[in-house]
Structure 1
Amino acid sequence: MAAALAADTPIPRDAEGPIFAEPWQAQAFALVVALQNKGVFSADEWAQALGAEIREALAAGGCRDGSDYYERWCEALEHLLIAKGLASHTSVDALAASWARAAEATPHGKPIRLENDPLRPAGPTAIA
């Protein structure tokens, strides 16, 4: 199924397959493939979600060179998970804010971890 996703999706690629400018792009790609393989959503649902995000971004004057492709990828995943009831706008916004605070609190050159968020409650269920 991952091969079908890669073949049917107009992602940045070279002769050997998808290319990623940053590690997070590969992680986002892998997450979508894993969720699709688990049946969370179909290839058609994914294509519709991603296509909608790309069309919306282009209509709003987004990058036409594809440099924001994986940002659209993440937006599509977020909206698809919300539409399926697996996440909420509130939980996504809270998690994004926590990552931003963690990034601000992380010394330069160190990995950004949610544990670095100074406002994150202690414990495994800190962000649901």
Structure 2
Amino acid sequence: MTRPEPVFEEPWHAQVFAITVHLNETGLFTWQQWAERFGATLKRHGHHTRLNGGSDYFAAWLETLETLLGDTSVADPAQLETLRHAWEAAYLNTPHGAPVTLDARAD
């Protein structure tokens, strides 16, 4: 029996996708608004070809979500940036195979 290929290459791809879908379903934005913003992000980064849904695609997805949250005043852009750096530092300082956790002081 063969195992099915994962839908997402990385767990964070699935997580950012799920968060975006949830925010859409709560009425924060329409899917058309999302698609227009995401398309603009891809274009701005020169992603004119079909992407495979890998990290470059989801990095653009995350950038779009962060911008949308800032533009709609759901989240403070400076706080998002601080949080992003804290997660990056946690990731880079976590031994391979160990769960990545955010230091409580980063809040």
**Which TM-score bucket, shorter chain as reference?**
0.7 to 0.9
Contact 2:90 2:100 in 1 (8 A): yes
Q: Which of 75, 81, 95 lines up with 2:63 in the alignment?
A: 75
**AA partner of residue 71 (structure 1):** A
TM-score (norm 1): 0.68
RMSD between aligned alpha carbons? 2.0
Task: Using structure 2 for the length normalisation, give the TM-score.
Answer: 0.80
Deviations 1:23-49 (A, max 9, x none): 111111111110000111111211111
Shift in alpha-carbon separation, 1:20–1:63, aligned structure 2, 3 A:
farther
Match of 2:39 among 39, 46, 51: 51
Q: Give the number of aligned pairs.
A: 99
In structure 2, the residue matched to 1:92 is: 80
> Match for 1:101: what amino acid?
A
1:109 Cα shift? Answer: 1.4
Query: Does residue 36 of the first structure (1) align with residue 43 of the second (2)?
Result: no
> For structure 2, which runs of at least 5 residues remain unmatched after alignment?
1-5
Whether the 8 Å contact between 2:86 and 2:102 is mirrored in structure 1 is yes
CA contact (8 A) 2:42 2:48 kept: no
The answer to which structure, 1 or 2, has the higher relative contact order (CA under 8 A, 6+ apart) is 2
- Report the CA distance between 1:108 and its aligned residue: 2.3
Q: For residues 18 and 94 of structure 2, what CA distance do their matches in structure 1 show? A: 26
After the TM superposition, list the runs of 4 or more consecutive aligned residues in structure 1 that deviate by more than 6 angstroms.
none
The percentage of counterpart residues that share the same residue type is: 36
